[in-house]
Structure 1
Amino acid sequence: MELMVALVVGVLVGAGLVFVLLRSGFQRSESAADAAQDELQALRAECSSVREALARTEAQYDAELKAAAEKLALLEEAKANLQDSFKALSSEALSKNNESFLNLAKTTLEKYQEGAKSDLAKRQEAINKTVEPVGEALKVFNERVAKIEQRRTETDASLQQQLKHLAESQVQLSRTTGSLVQALRAPQVRGQWGEMQLRRTVEMAGMINYCDFEEQASVETDEGQRQRPDMLIRLPNERVVVVDSKVPLAAYLDALQSEDPDHQKERMVAHARHIREHIKGLSAKSYWTQFDNAPEFVVLFIPNETIFSAALEQDPQLIELGVLNKVILATPTTLIALLKAIAYGWQQEAVAREAKEIAALGKELYERIGVVAGHFAKVGKSLGQSVDHYNKAVNSVESRLLVTAKKFEALDSASADALPEVKGIEKLPALPKEVAPVDE
Structure 2
Amino acid sequence: MVEHCDFVTQSHQATENGAIRPDMVIRLPDARDLVVDVKTPLDAYLEATEAATDADRRAALERHAAIVAGRIRELAAKAYWSQFERSPEFVILFIPGDQFLSAALAERPGLLDDALRQNIILATPTSLVALLKAVAYGWQQTALAQNAAEIRTSAVQLYERLTTFASHLGLVGKSLGDSVRAFNASVGSLERMVLPSARRFTDLGVQPRQRLVPPKSIEELTREVAGAEAPAPTATADEP
Select the residue among 27, 31, 34 that pairs with 1:238: 31
Query: SS of the counterpart of 1:402?
Result: helix
Aligned to 2:151: 358
Residues 205-250 of structure 1: CA deviation (Å, up to 9, x unaligned) = xx433333221111011x2411000111222243321111122323
**Matched residue SS, 1:323:** helix
Cα distance in structure 2, aligned partners of 1:284 and 1:405: 111
1:217 equivalent among 5, 11, 33: 11
Provide the residue aligned with 2:236 in structure 1: none
Q: Residues 394 and 422 of structure 1 are in contact (CA less than 8 Å); yes or no, is this contact kept in structure 2?
A: yes
Of 204, 221, 227, which aligns to 2:20? 227
Specify the alignment match of 2:169 in structure 1. 376
Retained in 2: the 8 A contact 1:380–1:429?
A: yes
CA separation in 1, counterparts of 2:200 and 2:164? 52
1:411 is aligned, of 181, 204, 213, to 204
Counterpart secondary structure, 2:4: coil
**Highest Rg: 1 or 2?**
1
Check if 1:272 corresponds to 2:65. yes
The structural deviation recorded for 1:259 is: 4.0
Residues 249 and 271 of structure 1 are in contact (CA less than 8 Å); yes or no, is this contact kept in structure 2? yes
Give the counterpart letter for 2:3 in structure 1. N
Q: TM-score, normalised by structure 2?
A: 0.84
Please say if 1:433 is aligned against 2:226: yes
> TM-score, with normalisation over the residues of structure 1?
0.48
Query: Bigger CA drift: 388-397 or 417-426?
Result: 417-426
Q: Hey, what's the Cα distance between the residues in 1 that align with 2:160 and 2:179? A: 28
Higher normalized strand content (fraction of residues): 2
Do 1:245 and 1:301's aligned partners in 2 also have CA atoms closer than 8 Å?
yes
| Contact preservation (8 Å) 2:40, 2:71 | no
Structure 1 counterpart SS, 2:34 = strand
Using the alignment, how far apart are the partners of 1:287 and 1:385 within structure 2?
76
Q: In the alignment, is the contact (CA less than 8 A) between 1:213 and 1:233 conserved in 2?
A: yes
User: Which residues of 2 match residues 18-57 of structure 1 at below 5 A?
Assistant: none
Distance 1:349 1:281 in 2: 35
Percent identity between the two aligned chains: 44
Point out the more displaced range, 376-385 or 345-354. 345-354
The correspondence for 1:247, drawn from 40, 58, 62, is 40
In the TM superposition, what is the alpha-carbon distance from 1:260 to its structure 2 partner? 4.4
DSSP-derived class of the 1:300 partner: strand
Give the corresponding residue for 1:48. none
Q: Distance in 1 between matches of 2:204 and 2:86?
A: 100
1:236 match: secondary structure: coil
Corresponding residue SS for 2:170: helix
The question of 1:325 aligning with 2:99 is answered no
Alignment partner, residue 142 of structure 2: 349
Question: How many Å separate the matches in 2 of 1:237 and 1:389?
Answer: 65
Q: Which residue of 2 aligns with 1:307?
A: 100
Alignment RMSD, CA only?
A: 2.3
CA shift for structure 1 position 280: 1.9
**Aligned counterparts of 1:405 and 1:324: Cα–Cα separation in 2:** 111
Alignment partner, residue 388 of structure 1: 181
Q: Matched residue of 2:226: which SS?
A: coil
Higher relative contact order (CA 8 A, sep 6+): 2
Post-superposition shift, 1:383? 0.9
Q: Secondary structure at the match of 1:210?
A: coil
C-alpha distance in 2, partners of 1:252/1:424? 103
Unmatched 5+ residue regions in structure 1?
1-206
String of CA shifts for 1:49-82, please: whole Å, max 9, x gaps: xxxxxxxxxxxxxxxxxxxxxxxxxxxxxxxxxx
Provide closer, same or farther for how the CA distance between residues 251 and 375 of structure 1 changes in structure 2, counting only shifts above 3 A. Answer: same
| Residues 422/220 of structure 1: CA separation in 2 closer, same or farther (3 Å cut) | same
* Conserved 8 A contact 1:217-1:230: yes
The answer for the alignment partner of 1:340 in structure 2 is 133
Question: What is the CA deviation profile of residues 190-209 of structure 1, one whole-angstrom value per residue up to 9, with x for unaligned ones?
Answer: xxxxxxxxxxxxxxxxx433
- Cα pair 1:398 1:422 within 8 Å, conserved: no
Between Structure 1 and Structure 2, which shows a larger proportion of helix residues? 1
| Paired positions, count | 229
Give the corresponding residue for 1:400: 193
